[in-house]
């Protein structure tokens, strides 16, 4: 049986170790994908450090991949060998060279104009942004601004969205989707060095991160704000978001609600987004959404994040995650090429 290198998290809060594992075949209904690029996300170091979510060890982490269909299982008609595709997070993980997928409805082809590296920057960060903004509000998935993923999107003319952490990977997708949704004012809280790039993505106004501390952000914002999207996820960000948002608006956070009981008691609409198309309640929106991803890319509604390729294949994952954890990645995504592991 041919083998491949894969990066395992050996036990809860343990070390990452590089080991060989069998290359899977594609069973009926599944596809086998040769991974060309996988992106690093904060969740990867958070899973190692805090040991939440994972139950079975050793575990292979990683959530975002882009690659090429290597083989298709019996009965698969949607894909053929050689197709270029991107995948969002699945229950299988991606710090390895090949992968088989169980839910092929949630994989998408990528246009030729998008490289594998660029495509790998999309899945989890984009999904957090689009689920939070578009997802059905009745089911508590999102703000309900485009639950059917209509094209063109229902327009939020005259409305304001405030993005805390505009330069984060998630924030960059929030800004682009806010433009698609027709928000008149798209205000980003971010370091000044990012402002011109975020303006290219669609931001219309800025608050410099160095000029106003996060916990005083509400004092710097005037006028009604219909949506606040916290992409930083600290307690300060979560506590200030509802102070900025209008009474009828919604504050969205990329993290579980960690505010004090006192802050929660004064609540306006506040919810945490979960970047998944698999969890209960998310499937219908997920299928509608992923059917449109290729078009969103082709028509440049969303541009992938800027990126840096970390050298060393899978051996680059750990140093890359350390940089993410230590806030040493500013406005771009780290991408790894598993096939370059020596």
Q: Which of 259, 169, 248 is nearest to 215 (CA)?
A: 259
Stretch that binds ligand NAP, among 71-79, 150-158, 160-168, 259-267 (CB under 6 A): 160-168
Token readout for 254 is 């990329």
Q: Which of 16, 189, 270, 290 touches ligand NAP (CB under 6 A)?
A: 189
Token readout for 23 is 């290359």
Token readout for 176 is 């682009």
Per CB under 6 A, 135 contacts ligand NAP:
no
Per CB under 6 A, 324 contacts ligand NAP:
yes
Per CB under 6 A, 214 contacts ligand NAP:
yes
d(CA 47, CA 299) in angstroms, rounded, equals 35
What is the nearest approach in angstroms of ligand NAP to the Cβ of residue 252?
A: 10
Binding mask 80-119 for ligand NAP (x = CB under 6 A): ----------------------------------------
Per CB under 6 A, 286 contacts ligand NAP:
no
Per CB under 6 A, 155 contacts ligand NAP:
no
d(CA 257, CA 244) in angstroms, rounded, equals 17
- Which helix (H) or strand (E) is 289 found in, with range? helix 283-290
Per CB under 6 A, 128 contacts ligand NAP:
yes
Q: Which of 30, 35, 38, 42 touches ligand NAP (CB under 6 A)?
A: 42
Per CB under 6 A, 120 contacts ligand NAP:
no
* Strand bridging mode 307-310 / 333-336: parallel
What are the beta bridge partners of residue 227? 161, 250
d(CA 308, CA 169) in angstroms, rounded, equals 13
Interface with ligand NAP (CB under 6 A), residue total: 30
Q: Which of 191, 204, 303, 339 touches ligand NAP (CB under 6 A)?
A: 191
Q: Which of 27, 88, 25, 24 is nearest to 62 (CA)?
A: 88
Per CB under 6 A, 273 contacts ligand NAP:
yes
With contact defined as beta carbons under 8 Å apart, do 85 and 111 qualify? no
With contact defined as beta carbons under 8 Å apart, do 322 and 334 qualify? no
Applying CB under 6 A, the residues found at the interface with ligand NAP are: 41-43, 124-125, 128, 165, 167-170, 189-191, 194, 209, 214, 231-233, 254-255, 273-275, 324, 327, 329-331
């Amino acid at each position: 049986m041919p083998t491949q290198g894969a990066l395992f998290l050996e036990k809860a809060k343990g070390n990452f170790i590089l080991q060989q594992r069998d290359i899977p075949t594609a069973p009926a209904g599944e596809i086998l994908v040769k991974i060309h690029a996988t992106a690093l996300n904060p969740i990867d170091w958070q899973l190692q450090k805090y040991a939440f979510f994972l139950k079975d060890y050793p575990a292979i982490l990683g959530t975002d991949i882009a690659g090429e269909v290597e083989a298709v299982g019996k009965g698969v008609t949607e894909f053929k060998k050689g197709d270029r595709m991107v995948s969002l997070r699945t229950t299988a993980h991606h710090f390895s060279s090949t992968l088989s997928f169980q839910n092929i409805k949630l994989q998408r082809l990528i246009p030729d104009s998008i490289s594998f590296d660029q495509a790998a920057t999309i899945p989890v960060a984009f999904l957090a942004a689009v689920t939070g903004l578009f997802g059905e509000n009745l089911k508590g998935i999102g703000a309900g601004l485009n639950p059917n993923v209509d094209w063109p999107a229902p327009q939020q003319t005259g409305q304001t969205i405030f993005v805390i952490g505009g330069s984060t990977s998630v924030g960059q997708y929030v800004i682009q989707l806010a433009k698609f949704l027709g928000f008149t004012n798209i205000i980003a809280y971010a370091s000044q060095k990012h402002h011109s790039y975020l303006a290219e993505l669609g931001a219309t106004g800025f608050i410099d991160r160095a000029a106003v501390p996060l916990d005083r952000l509400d004092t710097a914002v005037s006028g009604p704000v219909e949506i606040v999207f916290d992409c930083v996820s600290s307690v300060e960000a979560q506590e200030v978001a509802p102070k900025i948002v209008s009474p009828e608006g919604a504050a969205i956070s990329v993290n579980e609600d960690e505010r004090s009981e006192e802050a929660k008691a004064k609540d306006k609409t506040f919810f945490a987004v979960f970047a998944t198309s698999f969890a209960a309640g998310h499937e219908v929106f997920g299928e509608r959404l992923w059917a449109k991803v290729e078009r969103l890319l082709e028509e440049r509604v969303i541009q992938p994040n800027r990126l840096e390729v970390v050298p060393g294949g899978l051996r680059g994952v750990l140093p890359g995650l350390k940089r993410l954890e230590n806030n040493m990645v500013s406005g771009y995504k780290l991408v790894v090429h598993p096939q370059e592991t020596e």
